[in-house]
Structure 1
Amino acid sequence: MSKKRILIVEDEESLLKLESILLTSKGYDVTGVTNGQAALDSLAENPSDLVLLDIMLPQIDGFEVCRRIKENPQTQHIPVIMLTAKKSREDMARGEKVGADWYITKPFKSVMVIETIQRFLAK
């Protein structure tokens, strides 16, 4: 069985590194990018099995990235998990509106992120 590919979109370098190490240690093939446009470019070139997406990003925010992923017939099947410090009801509702499959707020527990990822990749 081939490794599941996860795209992490996180503009904070230290968090991107931490998330990458965590997921790589669990056997995932991880690609990390630091902005919304790079995320869309990465998915166009090399589709992932799941996207871990921050909201507050340079250029294109995570809401718009998610909307574009879910509108594109080539990528709309990819689960998108929002991983963000934005935790208001309005933010969560907006995440749902643009098609996010799940919403995790920072600070997060690593085990919760892993369990959520495993649940979506087992489908």
Structure 2
Amino acid sequence: MNKKKILIVEDEESLLKLESILLISKGFEVKGVANGRAALEAVAEDKPDLVLLDIMLPEIDGFEVCRQLKSDPATRHIPVIMLTAKKSREDMVRGEKVGADWYITKPFKSAMVIETIQRFLAK
């Protein structure tokens, strides 16, 4: 069976490692990048099955990354899950407006992240 590819976009190195280990242990193929520009390049070069996206990123923030992915016919089908410390209602609404498929706030429960990812990949 083909492993599902997940792109993790997280600028905090320790969190990127933690999320990568968690997803690899669940059988996913994982690529991690630390900024918005690298995220857009990674998606263009190697279309992942799902993007786990932080919002507060260097260069291009997660809202703009999501907006660009969702406005491109070649990538708009890829589920984008925002995984962020930004908890305000305004941020959640903005995430929805740019096309995020789901919004999870930090600190997060690993089981909930895995469950959400599996739900989107089962579609």
1:51-95: per-residue Cα shift (whole Å, max 9, x none)? 000000000000000000001111000000000000000000000
Secondary structure of 2:115's aligned partner? helix
Structure-1 residue corresponding to 2:52? 52
**Mapping for residues 1-123 of structure 1, pairs under 5 Å:** 1-123=1-123
Equivalent position amino acid for 1:10 in 2: E
2:2 and 2:103 mapped to 1: Cα distance? 27
Report the TM-score when normalising by structure 1.
Answer: 1.00
Q: Please, what is the CA RMSD of the aligned residues?
A: 0.3
1:106, distance to aligned residue in structure 2 (A) = 0.1
1:113, distance to aligned residue in structure 2 (A) = 0.1
Identical aligned residues as a percent? 81
Report the TM-score when normalising by structure 2.
Answer: 1.00
Equivalent position amino acid for 1:9 in 2: V
4+ residue runs over 4 A deviation: none
Secondary structure of 2:59's aligned partner? coil
Equivalent position amino acid for 2:25 in 1: S
Equivalent position amino acid for 1:44 in 2: A
Tell me the number of residue pairs that the alignment of Structure 1 and Structure 2 aligns: 123
